[in-house]
Amino acid sequence: MKNILIVTCTFLFILFVWEFFSYFNPNLIWVLPPPSQIFNQLIEKPDCFLFHTGVTLKEILGGFALAFSVAFPLAWIMDHFSIARNFLQPFFVIIQCIPMFTLAPIMIMWFGWSYIAIAIPTALMIFFPLTITLFQGLRSVPKELTDYFMINHATHWQIFCKLKLPWSLPHLFSGLRLSAAIAGIAAIAGEWAGAQNGLGVLMVESRRDMDLATNFAALFCLTLLSYLIYSIILLIEYFILKKRFFKILKAHFTYSRLTYSIVFVFFVGCGILMGCHRQASSKPPVRLVLDWLPNPNHIPFYVGIHKGFFQEHHINISIKKMQEPGHATSYLLLDQCELALAYMPHTIRVEQKKGEVEPIGILIQEPLNALIVREGGEIHDLTDLNGKMLGFCTGGKEAASLNKLLANASIAVKGCLNVNCDLITPLRTKNIDVIYGAYWNIETEHLKSLGIRTRYFKLTELGMPTYYELIVLAKTKTIYTEDEFVQLFKKGLQKSINYSRLHPNEAFEIYALYQQNKSIQTLTWEREAWKKTIPVLAEQQEVSPMIWNTFQEWLRINQLL
């Protein structure tokens, strides 16, 4: 009781200092919101946080069941066979050294948009401490006790159930407590790869919208969830191993029921694995993977689904959002979706690498990428970019395209800084003078909502030919590239675009219905971004060979293919 009181008082003191420091440092809100704002978000949107916490909890429990179902038999095998022990222990270390963040996208590609794709990375991260601690517990049994059992003609099963397993319980609980501390991180790693819901998804979306109060509120929920799981395991350990009135039941429970319980958990884990595999095998009719997180560019898709424009043509669209831009074509080629929203430059490069993709629709008909600078600064035209610091969030060929554009325009920047996907903070803090990789219809309004007025230079002003920013792709030699489906899809998409253009306010309200995670502030600036987006929506669905070939030739001449 005394320890709990000390921890509580320490926590409250930290919150008080944090709030006090934030009050006298207003700029801190851009990286660390005060506790009052964080808890205000929890109070205002309890249903949202409960839902996403429940999703993450389900993934953690599934990961625990899968990890335990693997750790228990492996620990037994390692205890009984030295050859397996010498082989498996280095293998475990190698697996533990692999960041689960890198494996999670592979899981999505293998198992699709299913529960198992999140549960497996979670299990992989926590099964190592479970296996090693359980193995150490089994190996820690004194030799004289093992000899005593053998003298009395005990079988291997009796030695395991009545001696080794009870003896290893403290080690097992130690592994469970360690796993509970990292299970939340493992689940978040899986969610960041491609989950549609969960605390990890909420963190990514709120961070992208600079809604840091929601971001830290989700982090608080994750921390609390991990702490509760840890506390429950600690409580169970206390009652089983230390509480006096449990000693009477301990022998019977440990020797028989505990063994059956562990076997039961093993089969539950296998059942989860098999059930999730069946779930991964059942594909929705038409899965459309967005290029990134939902934003005003995607409004016609939500309108088409809500108003039934796609269903009129017997097409049932299921939208899948992406936490990282640029992976949509990979999922398409690996048959984890039927349609993908992609960028035309990236699509041309995929085709060059013999990727079997084909454009079947157009969403945005003009380039949106631009160079964005602060208004009222030293940059008034392109020549003023000389000697300035540039921040970008793209790499590879996209960065090479930028360098070629700057070179062709005789612009020499001071330096280039990779800011990943956080384009807002560096420009606001004036660490960079110009950003590349942002959309002039989206990020300019986002910055404006944060009190930062900007201006932009379209890439066509630097000599890049026009192209289609967002197109819908399907895999060749599938029913989704057959003329019948393509024509029906084009009709549904164009009808959705036309309706969105004629009824912009209603279209945005429909979009907002599907964005329960977004705050009022985010939806406010996204409404203004939507007004800028309407003029660049596709006017027709036929891809112009001239636009395609001209841009492809420009890439070839500038050695960007």
Encode pLDDT of 64-95 as tens digits.
Answer: 888 888 888 888 888 888 788 788 877 777 77
CATH superfamily of 33-274: MetI-like (1.10.3720.10)
pLDDT of residue 288 exceeding 90: yes
Grouping H, G, I as helix, E, B as strand and the rest as coil, residue 396 is coil
Task: Decide which of 2.40.50.140, 3.40.50.12280, 3.40.50.300, 3.40.190.10 is the CATH code for 369-462.
Answer: 3.40.190.10
Least confident of 4-18, 206-220, 458-472: 4-18
Residue 183 and residue 229 in contact, taking contact as beta carbons nearer than 8 Å: yes
pLDDT tens per residue across span 203-254: 888 887 778 888 899 999 998 998 888 888 888 887 777 654 344 444 444 4
Pseudo-torsion of CA 536, 540, 546, 547, nearest 10°?
Answer: 20
Length of the chain counted residue by residue: 561
What is the CATH architecture assignment of 286-367+472-516? Answer: 3-Layer(aba) Sandwich (3.40)
Amino acid at 435: I
The domain ranges of the chain are 1-28, 33-274, 286-367+472-516, 369-462
Q: Same topology for domains 286-367+472-516 and 369-462, yes or no? A: yes
pLDDT tens per residue across span 299-338: 999 999 999 999 999 999 999 988 777 678 888 888 888 9
Q: Per-residue confidence at 13, pLDDT binned at 50, 70, 90? A: confident
Q: Greatest CA separation found in the chain? A: 92
Question: Per the structure block, which two tokens stand in for 1?
Answer: 């009781």
Q: Strands 339-342, 286-289: parallel, antiparallel or unpaired by DSSP?
A: parallel
Residue-by-residue DSSP string for 461-480: GGTPPP--SEEEEEETTSGG
